[in-house]
Structure 1
Amino acid sequence: MELKKIHRIYFVGIGGIGMSAIARFFNEKGVKVSGYDKTSTELTQQLEAEGIDIHYSEDLDKIDKAADLVVYTPAIPATQKELVYYRENGYEVVKRSDVLQEITRELFAITVAGTHGKTTVSTMIAHILRHTGYGCNAFLGGISSNYGKNFWSSEKQVAVIEADEYDRSFLKLSPDVAVLTAMDPDHLDIYGTEQAVVDAFIQYTKNIKPNGTLLARHGLPHGAALEGDNKLFYSLQNDAADIYGKNIRMDNGGYEFDVVQQDWLIDNVKLYIGGMHNVENAIAAIGVAHLLGISNEKIRAAVADFKGIRRRFEYLVKKDNVVYIDDYAHHPEELRALITSAKSLFRGKKCTVIFQPHLFTRTRDFADGFGETLSMADEVILLPIYPARELPIEGVTSEMIASRIHGPEVKIIERDAVVTWLKDHPSQLLITAGAGDIDLLREPIQHLLN
C-alpha cells in the first residue's frame, strides 16, 4: 500500500471517529472518497458536506467498484454485504490500522496510547502544533472544540495519531515519538488478562523507530520494561519525573501552573478547562512540543487557547447555581478522575452523576471498581447497559453496579426518563458520563438547566 498510488478509496463504516479522520485525510489530498455507514449522524453529514459520497443501506449498486483500496472498521460484521463483495472479488481490503501504519512509515509520527487520556493528549499536541505554526496532520479520536473536527491536514510531513489499543491495532504503528498515558486493564473481552494488556503496551514501545523517544507517565506499573532509545517520564507534580508540574493553582474552573524539566522551565501556563488530570495531560503535550523545539512563549499561548474536546470534561452549563459537565468516561479510573476533579473545583455543591455503563463485559469485569468510584458522588442515576457490539450476558445488568455503590442514593432509570426526573430533582453539580448514546441527553439537559 503506497499512499500516493491511491486514487479511489471506499470506507465500510465511514462514520466512526477514527475512520472519518482517515477519510478526511484522503479527501483533502484529492482522492475520490466514498463509503457506507449504518446511520446518518452529525459527523457523516459533515463528511457529505465536504464532498464525500455516503449511503446508509447495504447496497452493492452504490459501492465504488473502481476503488483502489477498501478500508473497514472491526465494528462492522464480517457478513456485511459490501465487505463480503469486496473480499470475494479480489479488492485490497484493509483495516483502519493498516492505513495508519503506512502513514507512520511515511511521515514523522507522534502517537499517543493509553487506556485513558489519549484523546485529550493527542488533541492537545495537535492543537499546539497547529496554533504555533509548526503544523501537523492530526488523526484524533474526539472532536476538537477549537476546530470542530477530528482531523486537520498540513504540508508538514508530521502526523499526530491517537493510538487505539482495542483489537491491538496500535501495534502496527511505528512512531518517532510515542506517548503512553496509562496501562490499566480494559478490553478484557479482547485481551483476556490484565498481563496481556500490559504486554501489548510494552510491545507498543518496542515499535518506536531507531533514535525515537518515549514519553511515558511516571509511576506506570512495569515502567522499567518500557523501551525507546530516549526515555522520558512526565508527572502531574512528582519531581522524580523528568517533566512535571509545580505551583498548580485552581482558577475559575481552570488552572495555572509551571512545567519543570532539568534543563528548562515554562512558568505561568494557563489551562482553561477543568480536571486536574487535564493538567497532567497538558504537561505531556508540552513535553512533546518542547522536544520539537517550539518556544516557551508559543507553547504558553497555544495552551491558553485550548478549548478542550467534545465530551471530555466539557462544560455545557456553568452558572453560579448549577454546573453541568459531560464526559466520555466509561472506565472506573476515568470516572474517578472525573468525579474527583469536579468535586474539588466546585466544593460544597451536591454532585449528581448520571452514568451509562458501556458493554456487558466491561460491566462484569469492573463492577467493583464502578461501585467504588460512583460511591464518591452524592447521588447516582444509572442507565441500562449500552451493549454496543455485544449480546447480553445473563445476570449482567446495571444492578451489578448499583448493589456495589455505598453512600449515595442510587436509582436505575431509562435514558428517556432522565430529563423528566431532573425537573423534579434539581442538581448543583451534574455530570453525565459514558461512551454509549447518553450523549443524546446533552441538549435536552442543557436546555432544561438554562
Structure 2
Amino acid sequence: MKKYVFFLGIGGIGMSALARWFQANGYEVSGYDKTATPLTEKLTAEGIAIHYEDAVDNIPLEVRQNKAQTLVVLTPAIPKDHQEWAWLREQGYDIQKRSQVLGLLTQGRPTIAVAGTHGKTTTSSMVAHLLHHAGVPCAAFLGGISVNLGSNLLLPSEPIKNEELKIKNSPASSEGLAADSEQPTTNNQQLATNIPVVVEADEYDRSFLTLFPTVAIVTSTDADHLDIYGHKEALVESFRQFVSQIQPGGTLIINHTADPSVAAAAPAGVRVIRYGLSPEEGPELYATDIAAQGHQFHFALHGPQGITDGLVLAVPGYHNVENMLAAACVAQLYGLSPGQLRVAVAAYKGVKRRFEFILTAGTAAAPKVYVDDYAHHPREIEAFLRSVRALYPGRRLRVIFQPHLFSRTRDFAPGFAESLSLADEVVLLDIYPARELPMPGVTSELILSQITAVEKSLQTKAEILRNAETNPDFDVLATVGAGDIDQLVPQLKNILDIRWNGAEA
C-alpha cells in the first residue's frame, strides 16, 4: 500500500491539483520544481515539502528509504537528463505520468472531460462551478485557479464512503515509465464511484487518451502543439481517438467549428450535441440576445432542453458565452433547472488569468481598465481582443504579449501578428522558452515584422514598467501570454493605480 507520493514538477497547475488530492487523502506528499512560484509557495503553506535544486540528496529521506511505498508522479516537462528522475528510474520506483494517475483516479467513475485546444480550463471550471453551486456532489481537477473555489481542486463536501483504488500501469504509458511496477492500493476517501469527476482533458502529449468519459466536451480542434504532433491531421486523429473512448450511452458536446471527423468518431449510442454562438451554422445548442453591458454579457440559451433566458455572465467575452453554453448543457444533463442555472451562471467569477480584471478606474463614459489573460494561441488572442473591443469601443488599447515556445512562434507567427493587430499598440517581450531550446531565426521579431498596428515595439520587462510610468497613452491595457508575463502584473497594477487613482505605492 502506498504511503508516499513524490512529484517531479509539482508546481504545474495540473500536478499541483493531484498533489492536493493525495494530501487530502492522507498521503505524505513532497516534490521538486525548477523555480518557486506563488503556487508552490501555497503548496508549501499547505504542508507539502518542495525543493528547487535537482539533486538526489534533496529527495526526502522517507521517499529514498521506502521504494515499495512510494508513487512518483511525473510531468512531461521534466527533461530526460534530470538527475532525480534518472535515479528514481534506476532504482525501479513506480513512476507514473500525471495523465496516467488522473486516468486511474477517474476509472470507473462518471467523468466529465473537457478537451480542446482553446477554452478547456475555463469551460471545465464552469462545469464544476455550476454543479457545485447547485448542490450536485462532484469533484474536479482543473487546469487553472478557479476564483469561486480559490483552488484548482474541488472535492465533494459531503463525506463519501471509503473504497479502494488501485494505481497501476496505464495502457498509454510512455518511454521512461516503469514497465512492471507494483499495483499499489490507496485508501480513496474523497471519490465514490457515483460522484461525477470534472477533468481538463489535455491534448498535449496525448495525455487525454487515458480518459474514458461519460460526458465529453470538445471546444476546438485548431492546430496546436505541432512540436508533438507534427501536423494538424495527427492532432485531429488524437481527438478522434479521445471521442471514441466515450462510454456507451454517453454524450459528446462539440463545437460546430471542430473538424467534422471528430464528432463522427463517437461510438454508436453516444449522443452528439453541437454548439456555437449563433444558430446560423446549425448547432443544436446556441445563444441569442447576446449583449455586452458593463463587464457582463447577457444572453439566452437555446438547446435540447429548451430555452433558458435571462442568463448573465460576469466574465466577459463572446468566447466565454460560447464556453458557458457547453458547460450549461452539462449542468442540464445533471438536472439543473432554468432557475438554478440563472443563479449559478450569475455567480460564476472565472479563472485566474482568464479575462481577469486587474484594475478599473475612470468613468462609465471614459473607463480606464487593466486586464490580464492567459491567451497564447492566435485564435485565443483574437477572441480575447475582439471581446475587449466590444466592451470598450473607441478606447485606445495597448497589448503587451509574451510569445510562448519557439515552435509555436515559428508555426503561427502570421496568425499571432494578425490577431495582435486588433490593438492600437502592441508591445512584444522575448519568447518564453518553457521546455524548449532556442531555434535559429525564431525570435519575437518574426511576429513583430508582420504586425500592422501603427505602434509596435519589442521591449524588456524593465522597459515596459518604465514606459507605463512615462508613456501612459492608453485607456485599456492588456497583458497576454502563458509564460512568466504574470510577474509583471502586480508592478503594472501598482504603477497604474498611482497614475489613475492617485493611490500610494
* TM-score category (smaller protein): over 0.9
- Deviation of 1:263 after TM superposition, in Å, equals 3.9
* Residue 358 (str. 1) matches residue 397 (str. 2): no
1:32-431 equivalences in 2 (<5 Å):
32-61=28-57, 62-63=59-60, 64-65=63-64, 66=66, 67-154=69-156, 155=160, 157-223=195-261, 224-228=263-267, 229-238=270-279, 240-320=282-362, 321-426=367-472, 427-431=474-478
Return the letter of the residue paired with 1:404.
Q
Q: Does structure 2 conserve the Cα–Cα contact (< 8 Å) formed by 1:246 and 1:260?
A: yes
Following the alignment from structure 1 to structure 2, what is the Cα–Cα distance between the partners of residues 8 and 441?
36
Following the alignment from structure 2 to structure 1, what is the Cα–Cα distance between the partners of residues 224 and 304?
34
- Deviation of 1:222 after TM superposition, in Å, equals 2.2
- Deviation of 1:81 after TM superposition, in Å, equals 1.8
* Residue 440 (str. 1) matches residue 487 (str. 2): yes
Q: Does structure 1 conserve the Cα–Cα contact (< 8 Å) formed by 2:357 and 2:371?
A: yes
Which shows bigger deviation, 148-157 or 361-370? Answer: 148-157
Following the alignment from structure 1 to structure 2, what is the Cα–Cα distance between the partners of residues 131 and 162?
19
Q: Deviations over 1:105-134 (max 9, x none)?
A: 132110100000000000011111111110
Return the letter of the residue paired with 1:58.
D
Question: What is aligned with 2:166?
Answer: none
Return the letter of the residue paired with 2:479.
T
Q: Deviations over 1:403-439 (max 9, x none)?
A: 1111331110112221111222212011110111110
* Partner secondary structure for residue 331 of structure 2: helix
Q: Does structure 2 conserve the Cα–Cα contact (< 8 Å) formed by 1:377 and 1:408?
A: no
Q: Deviations over 1:372-431 (max 9, x none)?
A: 111111111011111111111111111111111113311101122211112222120111
From 15, 38, 42, the equivalent of 1:19 is 15
Following the alignment from structure 1 to structure 2, what is the Cα–Cα distance between the partners of residues 386 and 17?
17
* Partner secondary structure for residue 266 of structure 1: strand
* Partner secondary structure for residue 146 of structure 2: coil
Aligned pairs, how many? Answer: 446
* Partner secondary structure for residue 477 of structure 2: strand
* Partner secondary structure for residue 248 of structure 2: coil
* Partner secondary structure for residue 287 of structure 1: helix
Return the letter of the residue paired with 1:177.
V
Following the alignment from structure 1 to structure 2, what is the Cα–Cα distance between the partners of residues 169 and 432?
29
Following the alignment from structure 1 to structure 2, what is the Cα–Cα distance between the partners of residues 56 and 15?
10
* Partner secondary structure for residue 145 of structure 2: coil
Return the letter of the residue paired with 1:39.
T
Give structure 2 stretches of 5+ with no counterpart: 161-191, 498-505
Return the letter of the residue paired with 1:257.
F
- Deviation of 1:7 after TM superposition, in Å, equals 2.7
- CA change 1:91–1:401 in 2 (3 A) is same
Q: Does structure 2 conserve the Cα–Cα contact (< 8 Å) formed by 1:218 and 1:233?
A: yes
* Residue 31 (str. 1) matches residue 23 (str. 2): no
- Deviation of 1:235 after TM superposition, in Å, equals 1.3
Q: Does structure 1 conserve the Cα–Cα contact (< 8 Å) formed by 2:54 and 2:84?
A: yes
Return the letter of the residue paired with 2:141.
F
Following the alignment from structure 2 to structure 1, what is the Cα–Cα distance between the partners of residues 481 and 322?
22
- Deviation of 1:33 after TM superposition, in Å, equals 1.3
* Partner secondary structure for residue 14 of structure 1: coil
- Deviation of 1:82 after TM superposition, in Å, equals 1.7
Q: Does structure 1 conserve the Cα–Cα contact (< 8 Å) formed by 2:305 and 2:332?
A: no
Following the alignment from structure 2 to structure 1, what is the Cα–Cα distance between the partners of residues 48 and 224?
34
Return the letter of the residue paired with 2:494.
H
- Deviation of 1:60 after TM superposition, in Å, equals 2.7
Which shows bigger deviation, 363-372 or 319-328? Answer: 319-328
Larger Rg: 2
Following the alignment from structure 1 to structure 2, what is the Cα–Cα distance between the partners of residues 333 and 181?
12
Q: Does structure 1 conserve the Cα–Cα contact (< 8 Å) formed by 2:426 and 2:453?
A: no
Following the alignment from structure 1 to structure 2, what is the Cα–Cα distance between the partners of residues 59 and 45?
20
What's the RMSD between the two structures over aligned residues? 1.4
Q: Does structure 1 conserve the Cα–Cα contact (< 8 Å) formed by 2:360 and 2:369?
A: yes
Q: Percent identity?
A: 48
Following the alignment from structure 2 to structure 1, what is the Cα–Cα distance between the partners of residues 286 and 323?
11
Which shows bigger deviation, 176-185 or 229-238? Answer: 229-238
Q: Deviations over 1:112-162 (max 9, x none)?
A: 000000000000111111111102211111111112211121146221100
Q: Does structure 1 conserve the Cα–Cα contact (< 8 Å) formed by 2:296 and 2:315?
A: yes
- Deviation of 1:238 after TM superposition, in Å, equals 1.9
Following the alignment from structure 1 to structure 2, what is the Cα–Cα distance between the partners of residues 352 and 88?
51
